[in-house]
Amino acid sequence: MAEGPDDTVFEDCQFLTGSPQRFAVLAQIRERPARPTDLCDAVDATRTTIQRILAGFSERQWVVKRDGEYRLTVTGHRVLDQYSALMSEVERARVVGPLAAHLGSIAADLPAELLDPDCLTTSSEQNPLAAIDRFTDWLHEVDGDVRAISPIVTSVFNDVAVDLLETGTHIEFIIDHSVLERSASDFADALDRGVEHENIDTYVHDTPLDIGLALDRSRVCLAAYDDRNNVRAIAESDATAVYSWAETVFDRYRARSQPLESVLSVQENKQ
């Protein structure tokens, strides 16, 4: 078993993370050398608290006192940089959590660009339809042909597909057997269209799908669904690396899928 940090390292980490004022003091000293009175003016803390923080930093040699002013040491700079990076990553994790928690097997090789909070739309108690509304808008904005994977079927998505087909857009669409069953019972017209329309090729995946993915000429939209197949979050990107990744994912899913006509033919022969 690999050995972890010793207790002293944990104590040092706990000291730094023990209050927001400790980070604030370290950040202030990085801006410029400071006296305790300067730090009292800049940080919401009493002089006693500031002195205690400075004593803790000095003990760990993250700061040194010269000519009455406290300055960061080289290690103090590095500790502050790493802690700032950790705080940024934790903040990112909080924002991206609704996407990250529902990605299934593709999470392992997900491009970092799709974890950028700026490319994310998440649903919430205040706006439970935010993600699916944005996903629908994305589909309405499609440029060029479309490749898509979906673990759900809805009238909204079917209506978007009709609009796209009427404009001559070609669609490659991967569904799973549960979507096929629901389509047969609730959306028979859409299922017939999936078989008969010359501009749509529908495939049925051999196992249940757990993500939604759509690609047009240059953009990618990734949708994460919860256990009830509600869209929890979507991430959008037009980065080249993301597009290449999405093409690979789509091709991998399609390789494990059968044309809709073949699946329906097998089902008919079993009846």
| CATH code of the domain covering residue 80 | 1.10.10.10
Structure tokens at 250: 């789509």
Q: Is residue 76 part of a domain?
A: yes
- CA–CA gap between residue 80 and residue 74 (Å, rounded): 10
Asked whether residue 233 falls in the same domain as residue 128, the answer is yes
- CA–CA gap between residue 70 and residue 33 (Å, rounded): 5
- pLDDT (0 to 100) of residue 2: 45
CA angle 247, 184, 214 (to 5 degrees): 20
- pLDDT (0 to 100) of residue 107: 83
Q: Are 234 and 138 in contact (CB under 8 A)?
A: yes
- CA–CA gap between residue 200 and residue 238 (Å, rounded): 24
Q: Is residue 55 part of a domain?
A: yes
CB proximity list for 260: less than 8 A, separation 6 or greater: 175, 180, 194, 195, 202, 203, 204
Q: Is residue 92 part of a domain?
A: no
- CA–CA gap between residue 98 and residue 89 (Å, rounded): 15
- CA–CA gap between residue 179 and residue 234 (Å, rounded): 20
Q: Is residue 91 part of a domain?
A: no
Asked whether residue 76 falls in the same domain as residue 117, the answer is no
Asked whether residue 66 falls in the same domain as residue 130, the answer is no
The pTM of this model reads 0.78
Pairing of strands 146-149, 171-175: parallel
- CA–CA gap between residue 144 and residue 151 (Å, rounded): 23
Q: What's the domain range around 212?
A: 102-269
Asked whether residue 117 falls in the same domain as residue 238, the answer is yes
Asked whether residue 178 falls in the same domain as residue 262, the answer is yes
Q: Is residue 94 part of a domain?
A: no
Asked whether residue 106 falls in the same domain as residue 214, the answer is yes
- CA–CA gap between residue 62 and residue 73 (Å, rounded): 5
Q: Domain ends where: 85, 110, 129?
A: 85
Q: Domain ends where: 60, 85, 110?
A: 85
Per-residue pLDDT of the chain (271 residues; tens, 9 = 90+): 445 567 799 999 999 999 999 999 999 999 999 999 999 989 989 999 999 999 999 999 999 999 999 999 999 999 999 999 999 999 988 888 888 888 877 888 899 999 899 999 998 889 999 998 999 999 999 999 999 999 998 888 889 999 999 999 999 999 999 999 999 999 888 888 888 889 999 999 999 998 899 999 999 999 998 888 888 999 999 999 999 999 999 999 999 999 999 999 877 777 6
Q: Is residue 250 part of a domain?
A: yes
- CA–CA gap between residue 208 and residue 188 (Å, rounded): 21
- CA–CA gap between residue 22 and residue 168 (Å, rounded): 61
Asked whether residue 75 falls in the same domain as residue 106, the answer is no
Asked whether residue 182 falls in the same domain as residue 61, the answer is no
- pLDDT (0 to 100) of residue 4: 53
Q: What is the DSSP string of 36-86?
A: HHHHHHHSSS-HHHHHHHHHHHHHTTSEEEETTEEEE-HHHHHHHHHHHHH
Helix (H) or strand (E) holding 154: none
Asked whether residue 70 falls in the same domain as residue 132, the answer is no
| CATH code for position 236 | 3.30.870.10
Asked whether residue 52 falls in the same domain as residue 146, the answer is no
CB proximity list for 40: less than 8 A, separation 6 or greater: 46, 47, 50
Q: Is residue 148 part of a domain?
A: yes
Asked whether residue 31 falls in the same domain as residue 147, the answer is no
Q: Is residue 224 part of a domain?
A: yes
Domain total in the chain? 2
Asked whether residue 174 falls in the same domain as residue 221, the answer is yes
Q: Domain ends where: 58, 85, 112?
A: 85
Q: Are 70 and 35 in contact (CB under 8 A)?
A: yes
Counting other chains too, the contacts that 259-264 makes at CB distance below 8 Å and 24 or more residues apart are 259/201, 259/202, 259/203, 259/204, 260/175, 260/180, 260/194, 260/195, 260/202, 260/203, 260/204, 261/195, 263/180, 263/204, 264/195
